Amino acid sequence: MTHPPDTSMTDATRWMLAVRDRRDRTAFARLYDHFAPRLKGMAMRGGLNAALAEDVVQDVMLTVWHKAAQFDPGVAPVSAWVYRIARNRQIDMARKRARPLPEELIEEASEPDTQQIYAMEQEVGFLQGALAKLAPEQRQMIEKAYMGELSHSEIQAETGLALGTIKSRIRLGLERLRHELKELR
Amino acid sequence: MAEIEHHLTEPLLATYAAANLPQAYALVVAAHVSLCAECRARLTAHESAGGAVLEALPGAAPSAGLRDRVMAALDAPTPRETPTPRRSGIFPAPVMAALKGQPPRWKTLGGGVRQQILHADGEGSVRLLYIPPGVAVPDHGHGGLELTLVLQGAFRDETGAFGTGDVEIAGPELEHTPVADLGLPCICLAATDAPLRFHALIPRLLQPLFRI
Ligand SMILES: [Zn+2]
């Protein structure tokens, strides 16, 4: 398998594919350097002390290493995949029981379709841009929602503008995602 | 399976993605997503939004030794995982996990209605319900949100018809009497914030429940 450097992918995606396809430790170390501070910040924001937060970081990063085969850059960006692992792990630790998870889709490991990855990355770029452009209080609302600091009824009551903005961005990616997932079923 | 018509809402998917939905509701969301490509895609979109928030988060510097510990642990054997139950018949994997891999052990409620409680805590309860064709779901007053996912058969109430894979989202304001369609028994996964027991089961069941 050849891997020409592909400038259309983010660094994180290239590192993650190197980990997935070649068990590349240098790439993994880069992923660690990128995500560990963010993961620790998220865990501490969720109320864990520094030591427990680092347990979460270690656990999440090792899951990234061991479950790399499940990463599909055409379906979700690295950050979404890491986010999902981290939320699960943090909640399992806090509640001392496993959170119900959807069935995994059984997929054939396939060569990454660069065009599709590029489209996904573009989508994520839009999403990050939309987040950055939100008014501070709206942005805080979104942050709180995805950091697990708002209940369902609070999110429902506050959907107003902010979640709407995110949603309109999210929706752009849905048609393709839907298509992808239908193919997999 | 017919096309799924009743889906999860964005606030439900966002709260589930953030892992902040009470266990009872989270099970219904995980089960519906297992059956519904559309909601799976929408959940992935919310996780992408969560990922974007994570990317923008001010970090906290990990202590010096952590990186070495993590790198050293890569060589440790893969942690052995307890195998997660697979989908079995009409029950998607997360429901089988809640059943601990066993078929349901139904408890009779009267009138042919059966249930098995899968989980109950201070925030709510989630149960499997077995409703014979043409029979009404027992009165089950819920103070807040109620989620009902159809796993087999169908039911209808004042708000519409719900077939296999559909999820009904009922707020506290909804006074409804779901009645199972004729044909297959209706098997549902239902989560409420209500206490364990149904109320007024006997009086309701004494009434004629289904009129053609
Ligand atoms: Zn759906």
The minimum CA-CA distance between B103 and chain A, rounded to whole Å, is 18
Task: Compute the distance from residue A131 Cα to the ligand 1 centre, in Å.
Answer: 26
Q: Examine the domain organization and report whether A87 and A148 are in the same domain.
A: no
DSSP, collapsed to helix, strand or coil, labels residue B25 as helix
Instruction: Kindly determine whether residue A83 and residue B30, on different chains, have CB atoms separated by under 8 Å.
Output: no
- Write out the residue range of the structural domain in which residue A74 sits: 11-98
- Predicted confidence at residue B27, as pLDDT, reads 97
- Residues from chain A that touch B40, judged by Cβ atoms under 8 A, are 102, 105, 181
Query: Does the CB of B9 have a partner CB in chain A at under 8 Å?
Result: yes
Which residues, in sequence order, are bridge partners of residue B149? B167, B189
Looking at chain A from residue 124 to 143, which residues have their Cβ under 8 Å from any Cβ of chain B? Answer: 124, 127-128, 131-132, 142-143
Mutation target to probe the A interface, by most A beta carbons within 10 A, among B7, B9, B54, B86 is B54
Q: Examine the domain organization and report whether A34 and A58 are in the same domain.
A: yes
Q: Does residue A104 lie in a domain region?
A: no
Is pTM beyond 0.90? Reply is: no
- Predicted confidence at residue B202, as pLDDT, reads 42
Task: Compute the distance from residue B77 Cα to the ligand 1 centre, in Å.
Answer: 38
Instruction: Kindly determine whether residue B31 and residue A100, on different chains, have CB atoms separated by under 8 Å.
Output: yes
- Which long-range contacts does B69-73 make (Cβ < 8 Å, 24+ apart)? B69/A58, B70/A32, B70/A36, B70/A57, B70/A58, B70/A61, B70/A62, B71/A25, B71/A28, B71/A29, B71/A32, B73/A58, B73/A62
Token look-up 């999860």 returns B8
Looking at chain B from residue 95 to 124, which residues have their Cβ under 8 Å from any Cβ of chain A? Answer: 97-98
Rounded distance between C-alpha atoms, residue A139 and residue B19, angstroms: 19
* Per-residue pLDDT in tens (0 to 9) along chain A, 185 residues: 455 555 668 899 999 999 999 999 999 999 999 999 999 999 999 888 999 999 999 999 999 999 999 898 877 889 999 999 999 988 877 776 778 899 887 655 556 677 777 777 777 777 788 778 778 888 888 899 999 999 988 888 875 545 555 555 455 444 544 454 444 43
Give the least confident one: A71-75, A173-177, B72-76, B179-183: A173-177
Q: How many domains does chain A have?
A: 2
Q: Examine the domain organization and report whether A136 and A79 are in the same domain.
A: no
Predicted confidence (pLDDT) at residue B1 exceeds the cutoff of 60:
no
- CATH (domain of A120): 1.10.10.10
Query: Does the CB of A96 have a partner CB in chain B at under 8 Å?
Result: no
- Which residues make Cβ contacts (< 8 Å) with residue A184, sequence separation at least 6? A105, A106, A107
Torsion of CA B8, B10, B13, B14, to 10 degrees: -170
- CATH (domain of A21): 1.10.1740.10
Q: Examine the domain organization and report whether A22 and A56 are in the same domain.
A: yes
Predicted ipTM of the assembly: 0.86
